[in-house]
Amino acid sequence: MSVRLTDVRKSFGGLDVIHGVSMEIPQGGFGVFVGPSGCGKSTLLRMIAGLEQTDGGKIEIEGRDVTAVEPADREVAMVFQSYALYPHLSVYDNMAFSLKLARAPKAKTREMVHEAARILQLEEQLDKKPAQLSGGQRQRVAIGRAIVRQPKVFLFDEPLSNLDAELRVQMRLELTRLHRQLGTTMIYVTHDQVEAMTLADRIFVLRSGEVQQAGAPLELYDNPDNRFVGGFIGSPS
């Protein structure tokens, strides 16, 4: 199993927000955390990234216990919304940034940036600044910054929520294609049921810091365990 959480807990200032979550996302899988605003999706993702400490439980990536491992050593990469690009840097330098920071050899950096640009169809845009790109291209650059690091797991926190409806649909297709092409494990957070249904091979429905149900999209759609899951993604029967 690629990513495994065992009884993971988190509280902020005495308020329990994650109540003991256990889940598994298989190697190469596309897991989606879906649930209403405030249910703990980002907190869970940030704990997997190591950006937030756990207050209990265990997080494993490809069998390695990373619960106490620094974010930089977890071999995960988080994709932020496209506005998190550096406006004064070119597309190339935006994508190369983390590799330069890690003092990767120049040739390796060039190779990885060009490879990411090829996958994301950004080869013609490498010298441009983010302001010269379309919204979809900017979002692809944000994904490119993660690809160059060759992570074992990609983490996405509502990366499409700032895009207009048409572009969201297009980016969903691109993410599916990217997942197929790279074969890397992905974990994706959204409050959007349609996004969850179209992207996931495994959905985790969250409510108030607990997993209400986990399963394949159609499994949940056809056989919701309870009213909450039914109301959220299930058929209205």
Residues near ligand ADP, by CB under 6 A: 12, 17, 35, 37-43
User: Least distance in Å: CB of 232 to ligand ADP?
Assistant: 13
Q: For the chain, give the number of residues.
A: 237
CA 186 to CA 29: how far, in whole Å?
A: 6
Nearer Cβ to Mg ion (16/52): 52
Per-residue x/- track, 198-227, Mg ion (CB under 5 A): ------------------------------
Binding-site partner at residue 40 among ligand ADP, Mg ion, none, CB < 5 to 8 Å by type: ligand ADP
User: Least distance in Å: CB of 229 to ligand ADP?
Assistant: 16
- Taking CA atoms, 65 is separated from 28, 48, 159, 185, 188, in Å, by 18, 11, 27, 17, 21
Binding-site partner at residue 94 among Mg ion, ligand ADP, none, CB < 5 to 8 Å by type: none
Binding-site partner at residue 38 among ligand ADP, Mg ion, none, CB < 5 to 8 Å by type: ligand ADP
Binding-site partner at residue 130 among Mg ion, ligand ADP, none, CB < 5 to 8 Å by type: none
DSSP state letters, 114-173: HHHHHHTT-GGGTTS-GGGS-HHHHHHHHHHHHHTT--SEEEEESTTTTS-HHHHHHHHH
**Within 30-49, which residues bind Mg ion (CB under 5 A)?**
42
**205 neighbors 220 (Cβ within 8 angstroms):** yes
User: Least distance in Å: CB of 48 to ligand ADP?
Assistant: 12
Which tokens is 112 given? 């990885």
Nearer Cβ to Mg ion (38/231): 38
User: What phi and psi values does residue 145 have, to the nearest 5 degrees?
Assistant: -60, -30
CB nearest Mg ion: which residue? 42
User: Least distance in Å: CB of 51 to ligand ADP?
Assistant: 10
Nearer Cβ to ligand ADP (17/169): 17
User: Least distance in Å: CB of 237 to ligand ADP?
Assistant: 27
Binding-site partner at residue 83 among Mg ion, ligand ADP, none, CB < 5 to 8 Å by type: none
CA 45 to CA 139: how far, in whole Å?
A: 19
User: Least distance in Å: CB of 124 to ligand ADP?
Assistant: 35
Q: 102: which DSSP letter?
A: T
The side-by-side arrangement of strands in the sheet containing 56-61 is: 15-25, 3-12, 56-61, 64-65
Binding-site partner at residue 43 among Mg ion, ligand ADP, none, CB < 5 to 8 Å by type: ligand ADP
Which tokens is 152 given? 């074992």
**148 neighbors 112 (Cβ within 8 angstroms):** yes
**127 neighbors 74 (Cβ within 8 angstroms):** no
Write out the residues near Mg ion by the rule CB under 5 A. Answer: 42
